[in-house]
Each structure stands twice: as C-alpha cells, then as structure tokens.
Amino acid sequence: MKNAPPGYLCPFCGIAETLPLPAPESAVVLIESTVFALVPTHYYGGIKGNCLVIPRMHHENVLDIPDDLGQAFFRTTRRLAQAMRSVFQCDGISTRQHNGPAGNQDVWHYHLHVFPRYDNDGLYTGKKSSYSTEERVELAARLRTALQ
C-alpha cells in the first residue's frame, strides 16, 4: 500500500533530519534512537496536549514498519501516556493510527496519535483546531519536564 504521490516531501522526515533537538523553542517532546515524539500542529475536540510518535526512518504505513521498531514505539507511547497523566491529570489515554486514504491517513509517514482523555470529552465528535506555535512549545516543555 503506497499512496504518497511522486516527489512527496515528507514533513516528518524533514523534522527527523534536524534531530537531535529539542531546543527550548521546540515542539519535540522526546527523542530516542529510532523514534521521536512531538506536539503536532492540530488538536481535536478541544483536547490539548496530544502527541505524535514517529519513526525516525521513513515508513509509509503500518504495513511497512519493521517488527523490531515495535518495542521502541510502545515504550515511547507508554512514557508519553505516563507524562500526560502527570501533567494534564487526564482520566485516560487514547491512541489511534491511520493507514491509506480510506483509513484517513493524510501524512505518508507512519505515526501514532496519543491523546489525553477526559470523561465525556468529545474527542471523536469535536472539530480539528490549530495550535499556536506558543501553545505547542509550552505543552512540549511541560511534557519534556515530566519525562525527565
């Protein structure tokens, strides 16, 4: 399943090439040898503090990722979930991942969404909204502190 158009310039590969950051003005939350996590440009349903876990190497979708990447992916996801619980006092955590156009994938680089959740928060019925740069940087800083 390959859906990236010819000449696709992958935004996540562009970020991965700049690592290691994370500078204080960065939305990058965590960097490991094979994955990194960041606060994305959008949030959903008014729930702020969501992150993306992204492999540093380009893999378009779940069918492309190597088996040995799974351990780093889920370790990072668990660490983010713990940080979110600490920073945001959320009631739960949700993850979601999309593959192909029919699966609502819109960036052609595998990534996993991690959301802080609250009772009756409306995540799946709320609208997509943009973070300001300042919000992304502030949320990332709070999560980085919790991860230390």
pLDDT tens per residue, range 15-71: 898 887 555 568 999 999 999 999 999 999 889 999 999 999 999 999 999 999 999
**For the chain, percent of residues with pLDDT exceeding 70:** 96
Domains within the chain, CATH numbers bracketed = 11-147 (3.30.428.10)
The Cα–Cα gap between 123 and 19 comes to: 31
Those residues whose C-beta lies under 8 Å from the C-beta of residue 4, and which sit 6 or more positions away, are 10, 60, 108
pLDDT value at residue 25 = 63
The answer to whether residue 141 scores a pLDDT higher than 60 is yes
* 3-state class (DSSP) for residue 17: helix
Q: Average of pLDDT values for 82-95?
A: 97
pLDDT value at residue 38 = 95
Confidence of residue 1 (pLDDT cuts 50, 70, 90): low
pLDDT tens per residue, range 120-134: 998 888 899 999 999
Could you give the strand order of the β-sheet that contains 35-38, starting from the edge strand earlier in sequence?
Answer: 28-31, 35-38, 51-55, 112-117, 92-96
The answer to whether residue 114 scores a pLDDT higher than 70 is yes
The Cα–Cα gap between 63 and 60 comes to: 8
E strands along the chain, which residues?
Answer: 28-31, 35-38, 42-44, 51-55, 92-96, 112-117, 128-130
Omega within 30 of 0 (cis) for the link into 20: yes
For the chain, report the end-to-end CA distance as a whole number of angstroms: 38
pLDDT value at residue 55 = 96
Those residues whose C-beta lies under 8 Å from the C-beta of residue 38, and which sit 6 or more positions away, are 15, 26, 27, 28, 29, 51, 52, 54, 140
